[in-house]
Amino acid sequence: MKFLDRSMMISSGVILAIALALVHGFATRLPIFSIIPQFRWTSFAGGVSLSYVFLEIFPELSHTQEELQHSEILLVQYLENHVYILALMGLLVFYGLDLFALRAKLSKQSTTKIESDSSAIFWIHIGAFSLFNVILGYLLQEISHHDFIPCLLFFIAIALHFFIIDESLREHHQSLYDEQGRWLLVGAIMFGTIVGQVVHLNEAAIAIVWSFLAGSIILNVLKRELPDEKETCFGSFMFGTILFATLILSM
């Protein structure tokens, strides 16, 4: 019976990974914006993601804090609010990478340098999001412990998150992203999932990894999924926020 439970847990984590990988691989190829205007879709996705951050990620961080307080890891024993520090570190790392890429882009001068800088910026972005996907893929083993509905809501929130990130990367890097970037992100999440099935960390270590990832999710939601004033639809944003909040609270 334990073997059966373990097999089901593995398969549900792998299914989640494959489904999210398909979003990276093919979602931006769907003619969604010919049906729903991009500013409405982006606003809706931002509302969904923000609901997930406030109603799932923040409470999970609070629970994670309790896990770390009872851990035997020496470093965290000397820190207060460990989980929030780790989340802040995740936010700072990804913000720093983004800022570095932006400044490199603004410093372009000659045509040769433009091509070189564009390639460098591409690899910085893809490297950062590949790291994000490896961590997320690994954590799918932990998420697969949950019931079907929480897993489904997680998939919806992260899939919309991926979709907006993909659109942003595709807008900045165009053919480089289509030909290489999206497949590297697909490979990263599958690699993380495979590692998650083979290597099993204790609860405190998983809490540390999750906290770091949560910080990067919060940054990406605030930076990429809350559109500028001229490109937003407050009605769509409110609809996405209220709809997803209702689904989460009704679990």
Predicted pLDDT at 4: 39
Q: Regarding predicted confidence, which is higher, 199 or 244?
A: 244
Other CB atoms within 10 Å distance of the CB of residue 240: 25
Query: Is pLDDT at 224 greater than 90 in this prediction?
Result: no
Predicted pLDDT at 27: 74
* CA 63 vs CA 132, 201, 207, 210: distances in Å: 21, 17, 9, 11
Q: Regarding predicted confidence, which is higher, 205 or 88?
A: 88
Query: Is pLDDT at 230 greater than 70 in this prediction?
Result: no
Weakest-pLDDT range from 34-43, 105-114, 203-212: 105-114
Nearest to 126 by CA among 193, 161, 172: 172
Which of 10-14, 92-96, 134-138, 206-210 has the largest mean confidence?
134-138
* CA 7 vs CA 4, 10, 137, 143, 162: distances in Å: 5, 5, 17, 15, 27
pLDDT band at 6 (very low <50, low <70, confident <90, very high): very low
In whole angstroms, what is the distance from residue 122 CA to residue 116 CA?
Answer: 10
Q: Regarding predicted confidence, which is higher, 241 or 75?
A: 241
| pLDDT tens per residue, range 42-73 | 888 888 988 888 888 888 888 777 766 666 66
Predicted pLDDT at 57: 84
Question: 116-149: b or e for each residue (b if 16 or more CB lie within 10 Å)?
Answer: ebbeebbbbbbebbbbbbbbbbbbbbbbbeeeee
- Give percent above pLDDT 70 in the chain: 79
What is the gyration radius of the CA atoms in the chain, in angstroms?
Answer: 19
The model carries a pTM of: 0.80
| pLDDT tens per residue, range 88-144 | 888 898 888 777 767 766 665 444 455 555 677 788 888 888 988 998 999 888 887
Q: Regarding predicted confidence, which is higher, 208 or 137?
A: 137
Predicted pLDDT at 183: 93
Domain range list for the chain: 2-26+38-249
Predicted pLDDT at 226: 65
